[in-house]
Amino acid sequence: MSRLRALIGPSILNADLSQLYEESQKLLSNGADYLHLDVMDGHFVPNLTFGHPLVKCLRSKIKEAFFETHMMVQNPEQWIVPMANASVNQYTFHIEPVSNVADICRKIKENGMKVGLAIKPGTPVETVERYVDLSDMILIMTVEPGFGGQKFMEDQMTKVKYLREHYPLLDIEVDGGVGPSTINCCARAGANMIVSGTAVIGASDQAATIKLLRSTVQQVIDDH
List the catalytic residue out of 33, 136, 171, 175.
175
Asked if 24 contacts 47 with a C-beta cutoff of 8 angstroms, the reply is no
Assess whether 103 carries a catalytic annotation. Answer: no
Asked if 173 contacts 116 with a C-beta cutoff of 8 angstroms, the reply is yes
Cα dist from 117 to 55, 58, 95, 125, 130, whole Å: 20, 23, 7, 11, 11
Interatomic CA distance for residues 191 and 174, integer angstroms = 7
Strand order through the sheet with 114-119 = 7-10, 193-196, 171-175, 137-141, 114-119, 90-94, 66-72, 34-40
Assess whether 38 carries a catalytic annotation. Answer: yes
List the catalytic residue out of 16, 33, 38, 136.
38
Q: How many CA atoms lie within 13 A of 134 on its CB side?
A: 21
Catalytic machinery residues: 38, 175
